[in-house]
Chain A
Amino acid sequence: MNEYDVIIIGGGATGAGTLRDCSMRGLRTVLIERSDIATGATGRNHGLLHSGARYAVTDQESARECISENQILRRIASHCVDETDGFFISLPDDDLSFQTKFVKSCQSAGIRADVIDPKEALVLEPSMNPAVTGAVRVPDGSIDPFRLTASNIRDAKTLGANVLTYHMVTELIRRQDAIVGVKILNVRTKETSELYAPIIVNACGIWGAHIAEMAGVKVSMFPAKGALLIYGHRVNKIVLNRCRKPSDADILVPGDTICLIGTTSTKVPFDTIDNMYVLPEEVEILRKGAQELSPILEKTRILRCYAGVRPLVASDNDPSGRSVSRGIVLFDHEKRDGLKGFITITGGKLMTYRLMAEQATDLVCTKLHIDKKCETATVKLPGSREDKETILKKLYSMPSAVQESMIYRHGEMAEKIATNNVVNNSLVCECEEVSYGEVSYAIDHMDVNNLIDLRRRTRLGMGTCQGEFCACRAIGILAKQKKIKPEKEKEELVTFLNERWKGIKPIAWGDSLRESQYASWVYESVCGLSKNNKDLTK
């Protein structure tokens, strides 16, 4: 089958959300992603469930969007959300009068903002800087972008959607004044094929500029790099923000077993966006900001660092490109450029992915003359449809460690994973308590093609050992389930270890260097893995 109603390009949260929305409205939809899902900006941010408070002072519209989506995501994606709440704290260097303005702006955007006595705030969140002079409590939280994207995809697939990861769009097929399809390349097998649809949605974030170029239209975007550090402990249970004008390294988010500080913001050239490295000076900015929010972080191990690229879109009416929007941008290229069958949805943020998908899908429906209302704000995502007690009853005989972590990650979908025997219950990843059964399920049912994909679906290798012990266990399972050819296993491990090293190298001191030396020792010295494994098997 190569004919669809809609083709979506881009497997981030927006693309996945649009895939689900289109599928829910009865459209035959396919999603094309050149790598794995959630590999772009979606998977490379704070994972912050914004209350909108951060934008309240500077951008009321964004603030309103955030708080509205915040409430929706708590309902529809409860298994991806951790309802931590957030503090905006003032430190001695910060102007306390900003707090008044901040609270007022929050209220006018409809965001609950309670001023709390700093002493009480310290009791509620003991990791915060004891020099705190003011604290405001807001409904921030954390959200797992991988789980969120995977859950959207999973629901869409149940509704009949098709997902092609590791497929790259090589050409947009044009007929007169319309885009009618795409030529795609399977990057793993090198096979090419063509897909056709009356509407193509460009949902590629910063990479959307390139897709627009293929269509012969111009979308002016600026790549803005944002670097983050992951600390190996969840030192705070409540999100910590600085109560001042938004700047670098002023948000500390607890997520799963870790916490992360971000971000920096630097405009970078387009040719660097596929290979983002975190620089030493960025590490220093982030460490300083983190330690100001929570001094204990000076002694906390940094697990790894990474950087994402925000798509900043230049306003159409400003040719200089200086007026940049951080809001949602939806281009109907038929109206804008006279090109039919092609729309671009970009800008925005992880928080507004659903709204972006709704807007894009609304436009798709208008074009296809389909009169169906969006229901994504009310219909819960798979994983968030049953409460924990109900799910627990179905998994009662499993070992408790496996039980807890599976429900945490997969909600009621855990029931499908569970087959209770020695093999399935054996732990592959001890840091994050990922069982054989969970790995095996993810490989078969969640579009996993390699170790790095597996990490995004299950958190395997995201804990303190960063995949040292579990990578070689998981590679065997991948081979067993025919996702990797046996002769490619070593090459796959080499790739995985290098990906891991890329995130560790900028912060490799203390325990992270210990861990790295140990990993090198195990894989290179004890196991005999080398660079050659890569070349030999090619």
Chain B
Amino acid sequence: MIFDTIIIGGGLSGLTCGIHLQKAGKRCVIISSGQSALHFSSGSFDLLNTLPDGRSVSDPVQSLDELQVQNPSHPYIKIGKTDFIRLAEKSQQLLTDASISVGGSYQRNHYRLTPFAITKPTWLTMTDYVSSDQPDSLPWKNVCLVHFTGYLDFHPDFFQGKFQELGIKVQNVELDLTKVSIRKNTPLEVRSTNIARLFDNEEALDNFVRLLAHKVGDADAVLLPACLGLERTNIVNILSRKLGVEVKLLATFPPTVSGIRAQYLLKQRFMQLGGTYMLGDTVNKVDFENNHISKIFTVNHGNIPLRGEEYVLCSGSFFSEGLVALPNDVVDPICGLDVDYISDRKEWFASDVFDQQNYESFGIRTDETFHGIKNGQAISNLHVCGASLSAFNALKEGCGGGVSMLTALYVAEDILRQKENK
């Protein structure tokens, strides 16, 4: 099988890269082994919340100069300020084009409410979620807070406490979903995705509206746990219309419906553009010839090689198995690229789990244009992007979503540019 570009990894960065290349007329394949980190996100994408020294960031662009001083190898510094701005704009457009409606701007962080009702800065938030421009300022005086009997991945208490702290009156409504749809009870029943599937059914939705309508009272907004809209992306609008009041979603514990939906919509977009998405397949062999990749093999395709002019590695961090930690070593299990890590294992971790953990910044070493490096030599037709990269801490800096999308777009453009030059 021959493609223009072979992308290894089907999460946020793989899909972003694939969509951009496919749009530019390239034939791409994405090889994805399954769930990605995107499944566990909760309605928001972060660009840059905190500098490495711990100072908080309100304007990510303005903070780039300081970031350069503190960590000159950060992926954003490789991208550079001009491209950072351009690619951040492009990322937002890419999401919108994939029917993922988001609000927010790279020029100024806004605020989301976490599943613990903690206020955190962020870059883009899905428009059906609760968010605000200023920390702790919400437009309502009186809200109707809905939760579902037996649904344990959402804590109304946290939100109730938060709203009361902000002087918002809270009306608690607990709804029993068995009244919406009579189904056989199993202990796994009341989970996000099951609830979402329930609401994808028109009749169940109407039952729900009937049950809820007379409990809304004089609330200016109905706030629901974000476990609806797996297939019906406009479900919040539909509900809002039917109830005659503003409806917004509150974050739940992962895995989240919004994350699964975002993954699904990006994948749809990629495939509609003509891309091939090989789900449930894993690369098990990569052949190198003189500092470039000649072909790769996957589990499902056995001895049939996949050949591409260009390859992009978007395999994620430890969690996605893009990096594998051995007792005393960290490796890239797919291409065997050089990895930046500390050789003394004692230095990998801090004793307090909430302190900075050095292992979070380990990743694949790349050159100035994100080419992977193997045994000290850059691989000419292999780029690396997203969480696999070294020299940033997505957790502490709050930059995971941004690094994934911006590096993916940067790499896609670099591939297209190389083509033109040839």
Decide whether A and B are members of one complex: yes
- Beyond A514-B318, A517-B359, 13 extra complex contacts between A and B, CB < 8 Å: A422-B150, A423-B149, A425-B186, A476-B157, A486-B158, A508-B348, A516-B353, A522-B253, A522-B254, A526-B115, A526-B251, A527-B115, A527-B116
A/B pair count, beta carbons within 8 Å: 136
- In the complex the two chains form, is A510's CB within 8 Å of B326's CB? yes
- In the complex the two chains form, is B185's CB within 8 Å of A399's CB? yes
**Contact A525 to B150, CB < 8 A, known contacts A422-B176, A498-B353, A510-B325:** no
- Residues of B contacting A: mostly: loop
- Any A CB within 8 A of the CB of B398: yes
Q: What are 18 A-B interface contacts by the 8 Å CB criterion? A: A399-B185, A425-B185, A473-B153, A475-B155, A476-B157, A480-B157, A505-B349, A505-B351, A513-B325, A514-B319, A514-B321, A521-B395, A522-B254, A525-B395, A527-B114, A527-B116, A528-B120, A531-B352
- In the complex the two chains form, is A402's CB within 8 Å of B187's CB? yes
- Residues of A contacting B: mostly: helix
Which 4 pairs, one residue from A and one from B, show the smallest C-beta to C-beta distance?
A: A528-B118, A501-B353, A528-B114, A473-B152
Q: Which residue in A472, A517, A522 is a CB contact (below 8 Å) of B360?
A: A517
Could you mark each residue 324-366 of chain B with 1 if its beta carbon is under 8 Å from any beta carbon of chain A, else 0?
1111000000000000000001101101111101011000000
- In the complex the two chains form, is A513's CB within 8 Å of B40's CB? no
- In the complex the two chains form, is B352's CB within 8 Å of A426's CB? no
- Which residue from chain B places its CB closest to the CB of A505 in the assembled complex? B349
- In the complex the two chains form, is A399's CB within 8 Å of B186's CB? yes
Q: How far is the CB of B250 from the nearest CB of chain A, in Å?
A: 12
- Any B CB within 8 A of the CB of A338: no
Q: Which residue in B42, B185, B354 is a CB contact (below 8 Å) of A524?
A: B354
Could you mark each residue 161-176 of chain B with 1 if its beta carbon is under 8 Å from any beta carbon of chain A, else 0?
1000000000000001
- In the complex the two chains form, is A521's CB within 8 Å of B187's CB? no
Given the complex of chains A and B, what is the CA–CA distance between A85 and B34 in angstroms? 41
- Which residue from chain B places its CB closest to the CB of A437 in the assembled complex? B187
**Contact A522 to B317, CB < 8 A, known contacts A427-B187, A473-B152, A527-B118:** no
Measured between beta carbons, the chain A residues less than 8 angstroms from B354 are 494, 497-498, 524, 529-531
Q: B-contacting residues of A (Cβ < 8 Å)?
A: 280, 399, 401-402, 422-423, 425-428, 430, 433, 435-436, 469, 472-473, 475-477, 479-480, 486-487, 489-490, 494, 497-498, 500-502, 505, 508-510, 513-514, 516-518, 520-522, 524-531
Q: Which of B115-160 contact A (CB under 8 A)?
A: 115-116, 118-120, 149-150, 152-153, 155, 157-158
- Any A CB within 8 A of the CB of B178: yes
Q: Which residue in A426, A508, A521 is a CB contact (below 8 Å) of B40?
A: A521
Chain B residue total in the interface (Cβ 8 A): 54
- Any A CB within 8 A of the CB of B189: yes
- Any A CB within 8 A of the CB of B18: no
- In the complex the two chains form, is B190's CB within 8 Å of A525's CB? no
- In the complex the two chains form, is A517's CB within 8 Å of B150's CB? no
- In the complex the two chains form, is B345's CB within 8 Å of A280's CB? yes
- In the complex the two chains form, is B359's CB within 8 Å of A513's CB? yes
Q: How far is the CB of A511 from the nearest CB of chain B, in Å?
A: 9
- Which residue from chain B places its CB closest to the CB of A504 in the assembled complex? B353
Q: Which residue in A473, A526, A530 is a CB contact (below 8 Å) of B254?
A: A526
Measured between beta carbons, the chain B residues less than 8 angstroms from A479 are 157
- Which residue from chain B places its CB closest to the CB of A531 in the assembled complex? B354
- In the complex the two chains form, is A509's CB within 8 Å of B327's CB? yes
Q: How far is the CB of B398 from the nearest CB of chain A, in Å?
A: 7
**Contact A422 to B152, CB < 8 A, known contacts A497-B353, A524-B395, A527-B118:** no
Measured between beta carbons, the chain B residues less than 8 angstroms from A422 are 149-150, 176, 178, 185, 189-190
Measured between beta carbons, the chain B residues less than 8 angstroms from A427 are 187-188
- In the complex the two chains form, is B394's CB within 8 Å of A525's CB? yes
**Contact A521 to B319, CB < 8 A, known contacts A527-B114, A527-B116, A527-B253:** yes
- In the complex the two chains form, is B116's CB within 8 Å of A490's CB? yes
- In the complex the two chains form, is A526's CB within 8 Å of B360's CB? no
Q: How far is the CB of A481 from the nearest CB of chain B, in Å?
A: 12
Measured between beta carbons, the chain B residues less than 8 angstroms from A475 are 155
Given the complex of chains A and B, what is the CA–CA distance between A528 and B135 in angstroms? 14
- In the complex the two chains form, is B326's CB within 8 Å of A517's CB? no
- Any A CB within 8 A of the CB of B209: no
Given the complex of chains A and B, what is the CA–CA distance between A274 and B118 in angstroms? 34
Given the complex of chains A and B, what is the CA–CA distance between A516 and B398 in angstroms? 18
Measured between beta carbons, the chain A residues less than 8 angstroms from B189 are 422, 426
Given the complex of chains A and B, what is the CA–CA distance between A494 and B352 in angstroms? 10
Q: How far is the CB of A305 from the nearest CB of chain B, in Å?
A: 13
Given the complex of chains A and B, what is the CA–CA distance between A472 and B255 in angstroms? 13
Measured between beta carbons, the chain A residues less than 8 angstroms from B357 are 520
- In the complex the two chains form, is B187's CB within 8 Å of A426's CB? yes
**Contact A525 to B254, CB < 8 A, known contacts A426-B189, A508-B348, A510-B326:** no
